[in-house]
């Protein structure tokens, strides 16, 4: 199982010292999708939520204030860029750093709202994101110890050992915690119950893209087939 089997044609590499980003057809598509979506979010405005109040003729409007809008847009752009970076990185430690950046920015995007339930679930998500850094970095460290390298180009050529497979399992638990896939979805699902849809959608998109990329990384490391 090598890079071209999973990602298609290798279109090029971007060397930054030891950290070599690589672009295959598959990675390029996800990278471009993340970037296009980030641009769309940077240009768009948030929606307003209007609820009819029970028993009166009044409406209750939930709006995103200007300050809140600015910080959430900024954090969304960072989140989009981090997602795009995680798609093309060819270094394991670099990947974990991108995933951690996405995690902390996701908390930031909802921390600006003023709804108690949303903030409570964001707090719970923050606890998971903190816990998840242990398996995330621990998995990368185990793979570094077992292979002596962090570059995916080199790891692909090394036959997998039990410790590498254990490291990739830890890595997956870390990514699952940071991105909030099942069975840890409840905190993230509750975080969406607020106004400001484009910013909330980037949380969702970053989780989806990161989990796809994480599966590719894990297949490259553990080589099950």
Which residues of the shown chain bind another protein in the complex (CB under 8 A)?
A: 15-20, 67-68, 71, 74-75, 78, 91, 93-94, 97-98, 100-101, 104-105, 107-108, 111-114, 116, 119-121, 124-125, 127-128, 131-132, 134-135, 144-151, 154, 161-164, 166, 169-170, 173, 177, 183-184, 186-187, 189-190
Q: Give the residue with the Cβ less far from another protein, 7 or 108.
A: 108
Question: Taking the complex as a whole, how short is the minimal distance between the CB of residue 14 and another protein, in angstroms?
Answer: 10
CB of 180 vs another protein, minimal distance in Å: 9
User: Do residues 164 and 222 make contact, with C-beta atoms less than 8 angstroms apart?
Assistant: yes
The residue (of 8 and 223) whose beta carbon lies closer to another protein is 223
C-alpha span between 143 and 210 (Å, rounded): 19
Taking alpha carbons only, the member of 13, 174, 167 closest to residue 88 is 13
Q: Are 159 and 78 in contact (CB under 8 A)?
A: no
Q: Minimum Å distance from CB 90 to another protein?
A: 11
Residue closer to another protein (CB basis): 8 or 149: 149
Q: Is the dihedral of CA 129, 135, 139, 141 positive or negative?
A: positive
What three-state secondary structure class fits 179?
helix
Extract the tokens encoding 99.
């995933």
Q: In the bound complex, what is the minimum distance in angstroms from residue 77's beta carbon to another protein?
A: 11
For another protein, the closer of residues 44 and 124 by Cβ is 124
Asked if 221 and 4 touch (Cβ cutoff 8 Å), the reply is no
């Amino acid at each position: 199982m090598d890079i071209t089997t999973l990602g298609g044609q290798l279109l090029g590499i971007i060397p930054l010292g030891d950290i070599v980003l690589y672009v295959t057809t598959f990675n390029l598509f996800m990278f471009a999708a993340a970037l296009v979506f980030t641009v769309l979010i940077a240009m768009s405005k948030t929606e307003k939520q209007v609820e009819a109040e029970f028993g009166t003729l009044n409406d209750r409007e939930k709006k995103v204030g200007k300050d809140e809008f600015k910080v959430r847009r900024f954090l969304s752009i960072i989140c989009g860029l981090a997602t795009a970076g995680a798609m093309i990185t060819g270094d394991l430690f670099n990947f974990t750093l991108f995933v951690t950046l996405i995690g902390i920015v996701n908390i930031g995007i909802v921390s600006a709202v003023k709804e108690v339930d949303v903030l409570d679930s964001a707090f719970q998500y923050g606890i998971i994101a903190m816990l998840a850094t242990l398996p995330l970095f621990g998995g990368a460290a185990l793979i570094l110890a077992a292979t002596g390298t962090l570059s995916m180009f080199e790891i692909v050529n090394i036959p997998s050992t039990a410790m590498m497979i254990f490291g990739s399992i830890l890595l997956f638990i870390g990514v699952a915690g940071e991105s909030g896939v099942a069975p840890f979805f409840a905190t993230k699902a509750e975080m969406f119950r607020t106004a400001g849809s484009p910013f909330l959608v980037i949380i969702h998109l970053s989780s989806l893209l990161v989990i796809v990329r994480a599966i590719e990384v894990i297949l490259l490391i553990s080589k099950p087939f």
